Amino acid sequence: MTKIVINACYGGFGLSELALVEYKRRANVTDQYFFDYDITRDDPHLVDIVTEWGQAASSRYSDLRIVEIPDDVEWQIEEYDGDEWIAEKHRTWK
């Protein structure tokens, strides 16, 4: 199973300041211009922090949750006003 971090409320994805500092420490990120939106949502460090820290990993405007999907699914994150869900990728035309 693949674990993916999503935001489960209106507002948008975001890590707390302390969770972002912890992510940078674990991932050895030294770039001062690195932000939480630069992290891939299935990043093992991100998943571990959200698992270990619970609500403390979320920013003021987010409610981070972990969704598990089968490994063979090609996925993408979709959202409405910052409230996110995982969708299987498919082709669309307009």
Average pLDDT over residues 31-43: 95
What confidence tens digit (pLDDT) does each residue in 1-24 have? 999 999 999 999 999 999 999 999
Does residue 94 register a pLDDT over 90?
A: no
Average pLDDT over residues 65-93: 93
Does residue 92 register a pLDDT over 90?
A: no
The DSSP code sequence of the chain is -EEEEEE-STT---B-HHHHHHHHHHHT---TT--GGGS-TT-HHHHHHHHHHGGGGB-TT--EEEEEE-TT--EEEEEETTEEEEEE------
The whole-angstrom separation of Cα 10 and Cα 60 is 11
